[in-house]
Amino acid sequence: MPEHGHSHDHDHGHRHLDPQPHDHGRGEGHEGAPHTSPGAWAGVTVPAGGGPGATVAWFHCFSGIAGDMALGALLDAGADVDEVRTMLKRLPVDGWALETETVLRSGIAGTKVHVRTEADPPARTAAEVAGIVAEAGLPDRVHRRALATFRALAEAEGRLHREDPDAVHFHEVGALDAIVDVVGTCAALEVLGVDDVASSPVADGSGTVRAAHGQLPVPVPAVVALLEGAPTYGLDIPRELTTPTGAALLAANVVEWGPMPAMVVASSGYGAGTADLGDRPNLTRVVVGRRSDPGGRVPGQPVVLLEANVDDVTGETLAYAVDALLAAGAHDAWVTPIVMKKGRPAHTVSVLAEPALAADVRAVLVRETGTMGVRGTNLERWPQSRSFDEIHVDGQVIRIKVAGERVKAEHDDAARAARALGLPLREVARRAEQAWRDAH
């Protein structure tokens, strides 16, 4: 299932989830007959604290997220590892050891989590994994968050393979280190007293990965299914940045997507992946604090505006540069005609990016335009929440973007359908948007 059949440290550098338990000295002998509980997650709901004063943990997934990185970030933010281990020892399984170390990723210190196991993973069904969690007698919020995470994984895989979620076989995610990652993350949230979980848009890479089901495209199908309705974006990095376990933790527990919520920050931490991604820190950040009342002013999402003036670049090159900037993770990029000194016609290339991506985006701007310099300004933006859907027009699939009262057909899909149907582009877009309104 989701976490694919990779070695313990896969090519992206997030630990994929392998072995079954071995005896690590507790001597409790829990592992025996299969644990089954088909109704274990029936009626499970995710806790949400809500208003001012609630403790919120905001995950910043600028380099993606994996189960071990989420756990590492929370431990780095102050969750006591011994308290987390104590809760994990309630699981009716033996053969694991949770270790941590401090590492540097692009000069930033973070916590790297290692779950040590040895034997081959058992073929556990989703119901068996749910039974293991249900039998542990965990605190209520830990219990609910962990079960909701495995339920999200089972439902995503069930849709992909057209199987009953309870009957889905968890491959690597059924392994003990995956269970420790998920339950450990939920335990760390409880140790920190977290009421609400929030998240930034989620980054992922490109290329392919070897999985239990064969060679899969990145983002892998389970991640795409899990993050339906969540804000995501791709980076031109040939690695898997977000794993199914990381995506499931977010899909099951996040109650708010977007920029960092208004809060009084209490602590922050970084969870590290294994691989060195060069200029990009292979880290997931978490910021923990008390929700605050913004006092009438809703703080915007921090962004950096990068600009360069160029007077010796062709229109084709400028168009390519805009595409390259967007592929590098920029929120937006555009070109404005200007007149420079001595009356020279020129263009300003402007790009909005997350502060964490500013260095990467700036490098693309310099590389693709040949500019001799780039200026930058720190700004805020207030993006309107949006959702995505699909509609059919005469057998052609067209994606629809919905933001408030506005409904808009995706241009590329509408153009493809217009060519296939021999209709004007504006007519296809109008019909797609009206079909969505009629269906809703």
**In this predicted model, what pLDDT tens digit does every residue of 144-202 receive, in sequence order?**
999 999 988 888 887 876 766 655 656 554 477 888 999 999 999 999 999 999 999 99
CATH 3.30.70.1380, the chain: domain bounds: 301-381
Percent of the chain with pLDDT over 70: 82
Longest Cα–Cα distance in the chain? 83
Residue 20's pLDDT is what?
Answer: 30
Judge whether 138 and 183 are in contact, CB under 8 Å. yes
Residue 78 and residue 73: Cα distance in Å, rounded?
A: 9
Strands of 137-282, DSSP E? 169-170, 196-199, 202-204, 208-211, 214-217, 232-234, 254-257, 263-272
Q: What is the mean pLDDT of residues 257-265?
A: 91
pLDDT confidence tier of residue 276, bands split at 50, 70 and 90: confident
Residue 123's pLDDT is what?
Answer: 65
Among candidate residues 268, 345, 177, the one with its CA nearest the CA of residue 335: 345
pLDDT averaged over the chain?
84
H helical segments located in 269-400:
315-327, 358-369
Express each pLDDT in 341-359 by its tens digit: 989 999 999 999 999 899 9
Residue 359 and residue 92: Cα distance in Å, rounded?
A: 47
Express each pLDDT in 292-306 by its tens digit: 876 656 677 899 999
Q: What is the mean pLDDT of residues 55-80?
A: 97
Judge whether 336 and 350 are in contact, CB under 8 Å. yes
pLDDT confidence tier of residue 18, bands split at 50, 70 and 90: very low
Q: Give the helix/strand (H/E) hosting 87.
A: helix 81-88
Residue 170's pLDDT is what?
Answer: 62
Is the pLDDT confidence value at 238 over 50? yes
Is the pLDDT confidence value at 34 over 70? no
Structure tokens at 209: 């990965």
Please tell me which residue, 12 or 416, carries the higher pLDDT value: 416
Among candidate residues 335, 71, 33, the one with its CA nearest the CA of residue 191: 71
Residue 2's pLDDT is what?
Answer: 38
Architecture of the 301-381 domain: 2-Layer Sandwich (3.30)
Percent of the chain with pLDDT over 90: 60
Question: Whole-model pTM above 0.75?
Answer: no
Residue 202's pLDDT is what?
Answer: 96
Among candidate residues 96, 81, 128, the one with its CA nearest the CA of residue 18: 96
Segment among 98-102, 125-129, 199-203, 424-428 with least mean pLDDT:
125-129
- Sign, CA torsion 400/354/360/198: negative
Is the pLDDT confidence value at 5 over 70? no
Residue 188's pLDDT is what?
Answer: 98
Q: What is the mean pLDDT of residues 65-79?
A: 97
Residue 40's pLDDT is what?
Answer: 60
What's the distance, Cα to Cα, between the start and end of the chain in Å? 33
Residue 41's pLDDT is what?
Answer: 63
Judge whether 261 and 239 are in contact, CB under 8 Å. no
Segment among 104-113, 125-134, 323-332, 359-368 with least mean pLDDT:
125-134
Judge whether 310 and 378 are in contact, CB under 8 Å. no
Structure tokens at 30: 């829990």
Structure tokens at 404: 């408030």
Is the pLDDT confidence value at 311 over 80? yes
Helix/strand/coil for 20: strand
Residue 127's pLDDT is what?
Answer: 83
Amino acid residing at 228? E
Is the pLDDT confidence value at 17 over 60? no
The residue with tokens 């003036």 is 309
Is the pLDDT confidence value at 14 over 60? no
Residue 168 is given by DSSP the state P
